């Protein structure tokens, strides 16, 4: 019998054709100092959409609408290299008033069309932003 794989949610928040990028604090156990879109564990009994709303509120102070799933990937997390499943959720907010938790030290809004091309992003973030760019190209701005 195999152990359950932990599940995390990555939330990709857009507003006015911009996406929110967050820099992880230096003390974080996973990817300290890296840019990401935001993430957190999915609690038992919680859906990825509910987890995305909760984590977005906890980490950014933003209330978000979950528009759908952009993708999923597996990765090895932390020093213990635990296999983890990440579900990437597409979210939208109507405000840019970010209030960061202690998990991140910098937030910036970047045009969706340019975000995936930034050189300092890890590959999984780049893939998520490319999926967002494709989704944004198919739909009109709110």
Q: Which domains does the chain have, with CATH numbers?
A: 7-136 (3.90.79.10)
- Cβ atoms 7, 85 nearer than 8 A: yes
13-56 pLDDT, tens digit each:
999 999 999 998 887 766 678 899 999 999 999 999 999 999 99
Q: Indicate the pTM of the whole model.
A: 0.88
Which residues 6+ apart lie within 8 Å of 81 measured at CB?
none
Q: Which helix (H) or strand (E) holds 136?
A: helix 123-138
- Torsion angle of C-alpha atoms 34, 111, 114, 74, degrees rounded to 10: 40
Q: Which of 64, 59, 76, 74 is nearest to 24 (CA)?
A: 59
- Cβ atoms 22, 35 nearer than 8 A: yes
């Amino acid at each position: 019998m195999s152990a359950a794989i932990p599940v995390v949610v990555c939330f990709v928040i857009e507003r006015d054709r911009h996406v929110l990028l967050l820099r992880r604090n230096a003390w974080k156990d996973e990817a300290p100092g890296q840019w990401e879109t935001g993430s957190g564990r999915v609690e038992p009994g919680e859906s990825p959409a509910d987890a995305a709303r909760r984590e977005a509120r906890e980490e950014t102070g933003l209330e978000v609408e979950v528009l759908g799933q952009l993708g999923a990937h597996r990765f090895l997390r932390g020093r213990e290299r635990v296999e983890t499943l990440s579900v990437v959720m597409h979210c939208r907010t109507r405000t840019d008033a970010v209030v960061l938790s202690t998990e991140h030290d910098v937030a910036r809004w970047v045009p969706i069309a340019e975000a995936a091309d930034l050189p300092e992003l890890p590959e999984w973030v780049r893939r998520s932003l490319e999926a967002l760019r494709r989704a944004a190209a198919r739909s009109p701005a709110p």
